[in-house]
Chains A and B, each alone.
Chain A
Amino acid sequence: MRRFLRIYLPFSKAGMQEMMAYRFNFIFHLIGEMLSCFVMYFVWLAVFESSDSSTFMGFSMVDMTVYLFISFMASFLTYSDGAINIGEEIRDGSIVMRMIKPVNFDMYLLFHELGSRFVSIFIVLVPMSVGVELYKFFVTGSVMFSLPNFALFSVSIIIAYLVSFYFNVCYGFLAFFLKNLWGSSVLKDAIISFLSGAKIPLAFMPPALAAVLTVLPFASLSYTPVMLYMGIYDAPQIIWSLSLQLFWLVFFWGLSKLIWRLAMKRLCVQGG
């Protein structure tokens, strides 16, 4: 284990340093992306003003705001593109540069990205959750922060990130077959933003559809952590959703290993 960390931690450190070097770019990027949350916030505010009831499909304005910002934060934290070039590298042969080193390709990419994620905990997670809690305090007048919920959220978001990472490793392999990933990336991001509930809470969808979507891996990416943060689930639901997340993690991890093996075989046949 110590040897393992000795090998891979320097990659995390490098990832952290890159992130620090580009922190202003990152913050501007974050601000830009967050603007759509504010647009949505005002749209919802207008919806609640235009409506007679104080809840919308079971969500109050406070719930809605918390959902908006926490699900934005969850999608942002679990976003992973560290493996996006893997298929490209296999195709043009530059993957051999990774293979001549005695490190696992996925561990290398993972630890490198973890470094930058670690920095984003301070730039994204802390300020945003403090902001959301302050908002709740000012609107409702009482402190509602729940440590157990936050702990569950943290566990869930870590699993969600790993699911996202291995899902994107599998996706990255696609470039091995496709000439260009621009188009499919647009499609992938659109589908994920819908299926993961990042855009519209899954609870707003027709019950049958919602039931299917909660089981699909995409809900594990942002919907599950957000539900845990908001403390909406009861104990059996918590256990069920966390196990489901773990299941998808194992699934995509296994799938990525399988594709890697097949791709390597193909690489040998081609003679790289």
Chain B
Amino acid sequence: MLKKIKRISKMHRIFIAQDLKKLMEYKVDFLTGMFGFMVYQTINLLFLWIIFSGIPALHGWSYDEIIFIYGFSLLPKAIDHLFFDNLWSVGYWLVAKGDFDKYLTKPLNPFFTVLVEKFCVDAAGEFIVGIALIAVTIGKVSIQWSVMNVLLFILILPCATLIYTGIKTITASIAFWTKRSGHITHAFYLMNDFAKYPTSIYNDVIRNVITYIIPFAFTAFYPASYFLTGENPLFNLGGTVIAAAVLMTIGMLIWNKGVKSYESAGS
């Protein structure tokens, strides 16, 4: 087991080094993109700022708290983007063009091989903005930074990340039956937009969907609200852990079933 992890991490390092090299080659492009991303986020913040110029609080949440939740929402998104971006390729072309063949002729778990192959440095933009927003608001919101809470904060991030990864795995696996499913992943993935705001602003239907069915609310609002209020750790944090476990389990089941019914393309 340990040996296997060592092997995979050695492979992973080679791919990471490669993606970093590519980054150096396209420095200007990367920096422009990063800048563009920050402009985009600044516009969103400007939007929030304009809103709060007219009202004191949004459903009881202050401007700083909303920004904190917003910043928090970017972190799991960035981590998933950084490490697990290659799942998009499965739904968009790997299966449709029959390129998935190559994973089946290797003595490794195809799922790991797909994930390890790409290290998406573009995610840095989300990560930097997320960290910056949390850093800026951290002094203005009432968070008890006990050792326990710091530990919980660090532990909850991977779980929140796996909610993204699980949803991507499930929707990407559909491609094994339909050839292409990238657009389905796209539609589900964009639901993460709902996670950036307090769930109380939505109607019952949407609130239930983003809590129990496509639980993006657990990637940001629920865990962030625990840190902001200290309330309901069992639901706010426990829910995140359970959602991650359930989604990844379903994802792996569907993936494995999908790989079995994979019908390679071409003659």
A247 contacts chain B at the CB level, 8 A cutoff:
no
Task: Give min CB distance, A119 to chain B, whole Å.
Answer: 16
- Chain A residues closer than 8 Å to B197, beta-carbon distance: 39, 42-43, 46
Given A178-B28, A194-B43; A38-B206 close (CB under 8 Å) = yes
Pick from B25, B47, B186, B200: contact of A28, CB under 8 Å: B186
Which chain B residue shows the least CB distance to A35? B190
A24 contacts chain B at the CB level, 8 A cutoff:
yes
| Chain A residues numbered 14-55 whose CB sits less than 8 Å from any CB in chain B | 24-26, 28-29, 31-33, 35-36, 38-39, 42-43, 45-47, 49-51
B184 contacts chain A at the CB level, 8 A cutoff:
yes
Which chain B residue shows the least CB distance to A44? B51
Does the CB pair B40–A29 fall under 8 Å?
no
B99 contacts chain A at the CB level, 8 A cutoff:
no
- Chain B residues closer than 8 Å to A24, beta-carbon distance: 183
Which one of B30-38, B78-86, B243-251 is at the interface? B30-38
- Chain A residues closer than 8 Å to B188, beta-carbon distance: 32
Given A38-B206, A42-B197, A182-B33; A187-B39 close (CB under 8 Å) = yes
Given A50-B59, A188-B36, A193-B40; A36-B180 close (CB under 8 Å) = no
Pick from A28, A36, A45: contact of B201, CB under 8 Å: A45
The complex places the Cα of A174 from the Cα of B43 at a distance, in Å, of 25
Which chain B residue shows the least CB distance to A36? B193
* Chain A to chain B: the 9 pairs with minimum beta-carbon distance, closest first: A187-B36, A183-B33, A183-B32, A186-B36, A32-B187, A190-B40, A183-B29, A46-B201, A28-B183
**Residues of B with Cβ closer than 8 Å to A?**
25-26, 28-37, 39-40, 43-44, 46-47, 50-51, 54-59, 122, 180, 182-184, 186-191, 193-194, 196-197, 200-203, 206
11 pairs, CB–CB < 8 Å, chain A vs chain B: A36-B190, A38-B206, A46-B58, A50-B55, A179-B28, A183-B34, A186-B33, A186-B37, A187-B33, A199-B44, A200-B46
**Residues of A with Cβ closer than 8 Å to B?**
24-26, 28-29, 31-33, 35-36, 38-39, 42-43, 45-47, 49-51, 56-57, 178-191, 193-194, 199-200, 204
Q: Kindly list 17 other residue pairs between chains A and B, CB separation below 8 angstroms, not including A39-B196, A183-B31.
A: A25-B183, A36-B190, A42-B201, A43-B51, A46-B197, A47-B54, A50-B57, A181-B29, A183-B32, A185-B36, A187-B33, A189-B36, A190-B40, A193-B40, A199-B43, A200-B46, A204-B50
